Amino acid sequence: MSRLGTLGARLYRGEVGYDFVGKRKIWYGISILITITAIVGLAVRGLNMGIEFSGGAVFTTPKTSVSEVQARHTAEEASGHTAVVQKLGDGTLRVQVSELSTDQSRKTQDALAKKLGISTNKVNTDIVGPSWGEQIASKAWWGLGIFMILVVVYLAIAFEWRMALAALVALIHDLTITVGIYALVGFEVTPGTVIGLLTILGYSLYDTVVVFDGLKESSKDITKQTRFTYSEIANRSLNGTLVRSINTTVVALLPVAGLLFIGGGFLGAGMLNDISLALFVGLAAGAYSSIFIATPLVADLKERDPQMKALTKRVRARRAADAAKAEAGTGSAEGGDEEPQDVAGLVGQRQDSAGRGRGGRGRPSGKRR
């Protein structure tokens, strides 16, 4: 077995682990800082809306030696509006001008054809009206809103309202960061961007639901034992799925990185830029939020419950009693069947071999202590 596989097995068994939940204030601070940066970028620079949303015209030329700067100058002079020009991998030019009327579009098409030294009909023109763009934007917002509502309802039924709320916060976190980076980079927002955003929402939920499912199973009858608090069990569940989350994220990011840096960068494919940036940023943000935001937030909310508060007091009281007996030289009341005191930190090999035999590798057995 590889080292990563061995580490994954030890994490799953609870033999090692990192205290993600205990250090949640650090992750909250990092997330708030990143989110504020994204919001500032969105407020200052705004989104570069494509013609599908703002209306305008797209001109596609045959393969040409005319530079992007020359084509941009020609289009702006003919239309009176700012033009965005992109040279594609096959040597053709894609010229986009927003808010053009039909007469302005024809004038711009003629000017580009004249500059390239070709007939007008060889410059392909696609005109999009602003009303159609408004319909697309409206449907996108409706789709996003319905998706969010369905997610919250499902998670509240399948798990509980605290997990539904934590998942919703993680989704908003991922969306805000992705949209903010879009604004900072200046990439054009197209229907491909919307597709990418909806895709990353599903991926972010996948990781979060996997952790929540393990946490739900591990926390059954949690109040009938005095060995672990809810936060400690949440942390163990998170560590148990950590390697799988990392593996799935890396595997998903590799092809998306190929689309973004090779397809979009070297080949100059416009649509690939739109969808791949949303996917790349969203996948990374989704993996981060499922580990550092969703589960710690559930633990925070759950620890406010009176039953969990009482459980925490009982766990601390038992550990204090066990520590006092150990110092007195009498040992544990259970004959050594106890957890190390530093359960929430980066722990090493467990020392409760007897506990493994009865409790299932050190997991809570559900027996009343």
Q: What is the DSSP string of 258-316?
A: IIIIIIITTS--HHHHHHHHHHHHHHHHHHHHIIIIIHHHHHHHHTTSHHHHHHHHHHH
Taking only Cα atoms into account, the Rg of the chain, rounded to an integer number of angstroms, comes to 28
Equal fold, 3-49+132-302 vs 56-128: no
Predicted confidence at residue 237, as pLDDT, reads 83
pLDDT in tens, 278-298: 888 888 888 888 889 998 999
Q: Is the distance from CB of 57 to CB of 51 less than 8 angstroms?
A: yes
Which CATH superfamily does the domain covering 56-128 fall into? Malonyl-CoA ACP transacylase, ACP-binding (3.30.70.250)
CA dihedral 134, 136, 137, 139 (to 10 degrees): 120
The structural domains of the chain, with segments of one domain joined by +, span: 3-49+132-302, 56-128
The pLDDT averaged over each successive group of 10 residues in the chain (369 residues) is: 58 66 90 91 83 79 84 85 77 81 83 85 79 73 83 88 90 89 81 79 81 84 86 86 81 82 61 77 86 90 89 89 82 44 38 40 44
pLDDT in tens, 23-34: 889 999 999 999
Q: Give the predicted TM-score (pTM) of the model.
A: 0.70
d(CA 306, CA 31): 28
Which class is 3-49+132-302 in CATH? mainly alpha
Predicted confidence at residue 15, as pLDDT, reads 61
